[in-house]
Amino acid sequence: MRRKLAAGNWKMNGVSTQLAEVEALCAAHPSPRVDLLIAPPATLISSMVVSAANHALEVAGQDCHGEKNGAHTGDISGEMLKDAGASYVILGHSERREDHSESDDDVRSKARAALAADLKVVICIGESLEEREAANTLEIIAGQLAGSLPDILTGENTVIAYEPIWAIGTGKVPTLAQIGEVHDFIRSKLQTRFGEGVGRSIRLLYGGSVKPSNASEIFNVSNVDGALVGGASLKAEDFSGIIKALEDAI
């Protein structure tokens, strides 16, 4: 049985005073029945690890470089994230792919580096509105899966997050049938490539305007093992509602 996962991506939001939200979240869920993960800005990773001490909440980086170290001003390596206390890293988010022109090859290289640093990876994939309207969604997803995933993945070290770009931060959400179609397709592709056991063990998250008000119905969709949450993860009360909905879906 795949353990459910509620992951929050703070993006470029948060200073030290916002750690109070993490402390409130931990207090509200002293013994969560699902895995909890937050990816703060790199400046808060070490502090968040301290705030979540003695709690099940894990901390993630939002990106890492494909090299272990070197002359890469402004970048951060997987080894550095691990040293700061992170246990996961998010890779291939659409904002990285678009704002920084990251390719599938770049994401695969980063995933290899992160896994070598003993980090778990959350690899993001998803189509644009134009691709959705052109009925190319599954073709795009298949290409991103083939190009972004290294061959060394397992259910213990890898999570896949499906985030339709047109739904991120827009309030727009695909229909439940659309979400189910893509998640079932991803599961099939993973089983074909990595084998039945590994393919079934990798957790699949949905991301894109997930809120307490719509979380329950999303979590009841086939092959949805949790969510990668953006804005709603910044406030303990909002994220807590999503966590409770995920626990109710077990």
Neighbours of 222 (CB within 10 A): 12
E strand map for 77-192: 88-91, 120-125, 158-162
Question: Pick the catalytic residue: 79, 127, 131, 163?
Answer: 163
Token code pair at residue 162: 């499906």
Helical ranges in 117-221 per DSSP H: 129-133, 137-148, 176-194, 196-201, 212-219
- CA dist 147 and 162 (Å) reads 15
Helical ranges in 43-151 per DSSP H: 45-51, 78-84, 94-99, 104-116, 129-133, 137-148
Instruction: Say whether 100 is catalytic.
Output: no
Give the position of tokens 């030290």: 16
CA angle 154/230/29 to nearest 5° reads 75
Per DSSP bridges, beta strands 120-125 and 5-9 are unpaired
Question: Pick the catalytic residue: 93, 102, 127, 183?
Answer: 93
Instruction: Say whether 163 is catalytic.
Output: yes
Residues with a catalytic annotation lie at: 93, 163
